[in-house]
Amino acid sequence: MRNFDFSPLYRSAIGFDRMANLLDAMSSSEQKQPSYPPYDIELTGDDSYRITMAVAGFEQSELDIQVEQNRLLINGTKPGNDSQGNYLHRGIAARNFERRFQLADHVKVTGAKLVNGLLHVDLVREIPEAMKPRKIAISEDNMLRHTENEVSTNTAVA
């Protein structure tokens, strides 16, 4: 396994602490995601998404969804099943899981539903009004001169 040193990036990247943390997390071998349960991420609109997870065999009461600091955490907990039974083949997974998703800024979870063994988690990106692009009006040249004259008159009086 290769190790990468991102410290040179920290020196020249001011204000990008979150990006540096993401790079560290991606390079860390401890952050590897298990493959169970499988999931899809779907773009359902311009600013809306859906995560669909295959959680067959789990009831609604056995699933837990939490959002904390731009991180979506989905847990599935099966109660201890002590019945061993006489299985010739046991291929249906009935184990606990924890799945984490890093959410981008301004992405909110709007709802979740469990349908036919599929857990659907709906997300929407809500960009604050202050961050949306806005048009700046260009003033005419004589307006600027008028403002400059007022400033020079006010400073001469004072």
Instruction: Output the pLDDT for position 9.
Output: 53
| Full strand arrangement of the beta sheet holding 39-43 | 39-43, 48-54, 118-125, 107-115
- What are the boundaries of each domain within the chain? 1-32, 36-153
Instruction: Output the pLDDT for position 12.
Output: 47
Global confidence as pTM = 0.61
Amino acid present at 117: G
Q: What is the pLDDT of residues 88-138, one digit of tens each?
A: 887 777 788 899 988 888 888 999 999 998 999 999 988 777 777 888 888
Tokens standing for 146? 């008028």
What is the CB neighbour count within 10 angstroms for residue 99? Answer: 19
Q: Per CATH, which fold does 36-153 belong to?
A: Immunoglobulin-like (2.60.40)
**Alpha carbon distance 25, 13 (integer Å):** 17
Tokens standing for 15? 């204000």
Task: Assess whether pLDDT exceeds 50 at residue 13.
Answer: no
Task: Assess whether pLDDT exceeds 80 at residue 82.
Answer: no
Tokens standing for 22? 């993401």
Q: For the chain, give the percent of residues with pLDDT over 90.
A: 20
In 21-106, the DSSP E strands lie at: 39-43, 48-54, 63-68, 71-76, 97-102
